[in-house]
């Protein structure tokens, strides 16, 4: 299994929105700059995320994107599925034609692993990721503040 940049970037971008939601809608250019993700790539991802109802666009001055659902109602599995990311670890991508059109000897093992990974990702909510990031972000901003005091004294 390889989670490609599509799934990773989608999760990162939505987490960025969740972490910056207090400032209002978040622009793709801000996400692009903060997360070092191509703006055109984000535009492609957000078209899919919007169709899935995970984000909503806000037009006009001060516009951007906001979450389409509460953070506790968005699972990481939903984000990955929205951008059509396949997380199957079977060679045949779950089709059962792994070896000359037949199921290979280890197909069921890899299929079960795929199911467990999917269950795992569906159990993790965006809210959980936000709660894990917030203390780190606060400690980083506190450290930056302390560094600012040292420089100014």
Q: Is residue 72 part of a domain?
A: yes
Round the average pLDDT of the chain to a whole number and report it.
84
- Domain range enclosing 28: 5-86+125-133
Q: 102-145: per-residue pLDDT in tens?
A: 878 888 898 899 889 999 999 999 999 999 886 555 545 444 44
- Higher local confidence (pLDDT), 137 or 64: 64
Reported as a single tens digit per residue, the pLDDT across 28-63 is: 999 999 999 999 999 999 999 999 999 999 998 888
The reply to whether 35 falls in a domain is yes
* Residue 96 predicted with pLDDT over 50: yes
Query: What is the domain count for the chain?
Result: 1
Q: Are 108 and 114 in contact (CB under 8 A)?
A: no
What integer pLDDT is reported at residue 145 of this predicted model? 41
10 is a domain residue: yes
CATH number of the domain bearing residue 9: 1.10.10.10
CA-based nearest residue to 118, from 98, 89, 97: 89
Residue 119 lies in a domain: no
Query: Is 101 a domain residue?
Result: no
Instruction: Assess if residue 117 is contained within a domain.
Output: no
Please indicate, yes or no, if residue 114 is contained in any of the structural domains.
Answer: no
Reported for 105-113, long-range contacts at CB under 8 A and 24+ positions apart, including other chains, are 113/1, 113/89
């Amino acid at each position: 299994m390889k989670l490609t940049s599509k799934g990773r970037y989608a999760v990162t971008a939505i987490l960025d929105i969740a972490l910056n939601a207090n400032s209002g809608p978040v622009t793709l250019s801000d996400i692009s700059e903060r997360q070092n993700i191509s703006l055109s790539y984000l535009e492609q991802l957000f078209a899919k995320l919007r169709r899935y109802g995970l984000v909503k666009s806000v037009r006009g001055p001060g516009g951007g994107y906001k979450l389409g659902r509460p953070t506790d109602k968005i699972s990481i599995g939903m984000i990955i599925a929205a951008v059509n990311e396949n997380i199957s670890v079977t060679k045949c991508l779950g089709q059962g034609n792994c070896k000359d059109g037949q199921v290979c000897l280890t197909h069921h093992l890899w299929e079960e692993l795929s199911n467990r990974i999917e269950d795992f990702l569906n159990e993790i909510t965006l809210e959980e990721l936000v709660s894990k990031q917030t203390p780190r972000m606060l400690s980083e901003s506190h450290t930056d503040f302390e560094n600012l005091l040292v420089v100014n004294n």
